Amino acid sequence: MLFDDSIAYCGPAPVPATLIFQWNFDPFAFVAIIALVYAWLMVGRRDSVGRAALMGAIGLIVLAFFSPLCALTVSLFSARVFHHVILIAVIAPLLAIALPWRSGPLLPLAAVTLLNALLVWIWHAPSAYEWAVMDAAPYWLMQISLLGSAWLFWREVLSPLTRNGAALIALVAFVAQMGLLGALLVFSPFAVYSIHFQTTAAFGLSALSDQQLAGLLMWVPAMLPYLAAGLGLLMRLVKGQPEAQRAGWTH
């Protein structure tokens, strides 16, 4: 199935000349932002750090779901991967700060890490990916499951209830599996996402080079937030800083 046979969630595949005009105004996305603000008002972290994290998350949600980036993901798999990187590596930790875990973990850190990683692999499998992007219901299932599992992961990692060493191991494990997925995309001898076979040329890319670019995005930009968090945890381990003394955290 190709995008010229039906219309994807974010609209028809754009070309460079029309991309800037293709904004998304799906009411569900507006409702999602309102729901986040309501959740923050009810149970969120209300200090300046929590407010800044919430505003940052909302700004990035607008970029991901309202701006022409949404339309670009219809043409380029690399744009879709960038979109997912924003979700799981930037928006999710911001939401974990704005909506911290207050009553203890519901799931073991290993289980949350495995869940997040498993969903990343499932939704980037060609068949699941092509099913998800062509209709609103599976599209939102993909986005909510990726963001939700990443939020659980980051809330556990950032929680003062989680030992520094365990959080560091979880970060390293997640980075390793994401690097493996990126390597498979970079070194694959052929393109596997047939839904993009006819949509990349307008942007000067073949389907294979677009796929390789997506893999590189998983290797470098996607890993930076995890590495930054890991370095912070490593410094605390070296200094012997207790988990409850993580800077800026409030119960």
Q: Output the pLDDT for position 107.
A: 80
Per-domain residue ranges for the chain? Answer: 3-242
- The conformation of residue 206, written as its DSSP 8-state character, comes to -
9 in Cβ contact with 135 (< 8 Å): yes
Q: Output the pLDDT for position 250.
A: 45
Rg of the chain taking only CA atoms, in angstroms: 19
Q: Output the pLDDT for position 5.
A: 41
Separation of alpha carbons 80 and 125, rounded Å: 13
Separation of alpha carbons 175 and 218, rounded Å: 9
Q: What is the pLDDT along the chain (251 residues), one digit of tens a residue?
A: 334 444 678 888 999 999 999 999 988 889 999 999 999 999 899 899 999 999 999 999 999 999 999 999 999 999 999 999 999 999 999 999 999 866 655 688 999 999 999 999 999 999 999 999 988 899 999 999 999 999 999 999 998 888 888 999 999 999 999 999 999 999 999 999 999 999 999 999 999 999 999 999 998 889 999 999 999 888 878 776 665 555 444 44
Residue type, 166: A
Separation of alpha carbons 200 and 78, rounded Å: 10
Locate tokens 């043409």: which residue? Answer: 75
Query: In the beta sheet, which residues pair with residue 8?
Result: 11
Which of 102, 99, 79 has its CA nearest to residue 150? 99
Which of 191, 185, 169, 171 has its CA nearest to residue 219? 185
DSSP H or E segment with residue 157 = helix 136-158
Q: Output the pLDDT for position 97.
A: 95
Answer positive or negative: Cα dihedral of 137, 139, 141, 144: negative
Q: Output the pLDDT for position 2.
A: 38
Q: Output the pLDDT for position 104.
A: 56
Residue type, 155: R
Helix axes 164-187, 136-158, angle to 10 degrees: 140
